[in-house]
Amino acid sequence: MFGFFGKKPPADLENALGQQGYKVAQNFFYVVQKGQIPPHQAHERNPITLSSDVDRSALVEKFIEVLNHNKLHHLDTDEKLEAINAIALDTLGGGKIPERIMDGALFLTTTLSFVDMIARVYYRDYPEHKPLFEMVNQLAKVIPPALDRIFDNDIPKELRETFPHVSSLIEQNRANG
C-alpha cells in the first residue's frame, strides 16, 4: 500500500528495458529513414526495400503467416515470448542464415514482441514510473510511422491482436498526432 506512487522497477529490469527500448527505437527509426528493414549481415546487399511493392507485400504476408501459423494471438504474454524465442532459435539456430523475407518477418515479430513487453511492464506494473513513461511515450512516437511505412498505412488485425500494447501505442500516437 505504501510507496505505490513511487513504485519503480528493480535496477536490472529497468536497465534491460532501457537497452531494449533504445535498440527498438533505433531499428524503427532506421525503417523510417532508410525505407528498409534492417538487414541481416548476409542480406546487406539485398535488403527488404519498402518502396518495392513486391518486397513489402512479401514481408507483410510472411509476417502474418508467422503470427497465424504459430497462433501467437492466442497465447498469453509469457507463452508468446517463449514461442517467439523458439521461432527465432529454429530460424537462426546453429548459425543458420534465414531467407531474407523470413529474416524481415522475424525482425518484425521479435521487435514488436519487445515493444509489447516494454509497454505491458509500464502499464501493468509501473504506471507511475516516469522513466518508463518517457520511454513508452518515445516508442509511441517512433513506432507508428515505421509500421505505417511497412504496412502501407493499414496495420493488420493480426498485429493488433497479437501485440495489444503495440496497438495501444499506435492509437496513442494517432490521438496525439
DSSP, collapsed to helix, strand or coil, labels residue 28 as: helix
- Partner residues linked to 49 by β-bridges: 36
Assigned domain for 24 exists: no
Higher-confidence residue of 125 and 176: namely 125
The rounded distance, in Å, linking the Cα atoms of 30 and 157 is: 24
Assigned domain for 17 exists: no
> Which domain, by its residues, includes 131?
53-176
pLDDT tens profile 100-159: 898 899 999 999 999 999 999 999 999 999 999 999 999 999 999 999 999 998 999 999
**In the chain, how many domains are there?**
1
pLDDT tens profile 74-92: 888 888 888 888 888 887 7
Of 106, 130, 136, 137, whose CA–CA distance to 118 is shortest? 136
Assigned domain for 37 exists: no
The rounded distance, in Å, linking the Cα atoms of 95 and 78 is: 26
Assigned domain for 123 exists: yes
Q: Which grid cell is 138?
A: 518515445
The amino acid sitting at 159 is L
Assigned domain for 114 exists: yes
Assigned domain for 1 exists: no
pLDDT greater than 70 at residue 42: no
Distances (CA, A) of 97 to 40, 66, 117: 8, 17, 26
Any idea what the Cα angle at residue 101 is, between residues 165 and 67, rounded to 5°? 35
Assigned domain for 105 exists: yes
The rounded distance, in Å, linking the Cα atoms of 107 and 114 is: 11
pLDDT of residue 173: 80
Task: Name the pTM for this structure.
Answer: 0.87
pLDDT greater than 90 at residue 4: no
Classify each residue of 108-125 as buried b or exposed e, where b means 16 or more C-beta atoms within 10 Å of its C-beta: bbbbbbbbbbbbbbbeee
pLDDT tens profile 28-38: 999 999 999 98
Let me know: does 175 contact 61? Beta carbons within 8 Å: no
Assigned domain for 110 exists: yes
The rounded distance, in Å, linking the Cα atoms of 11 and 65 is: 37
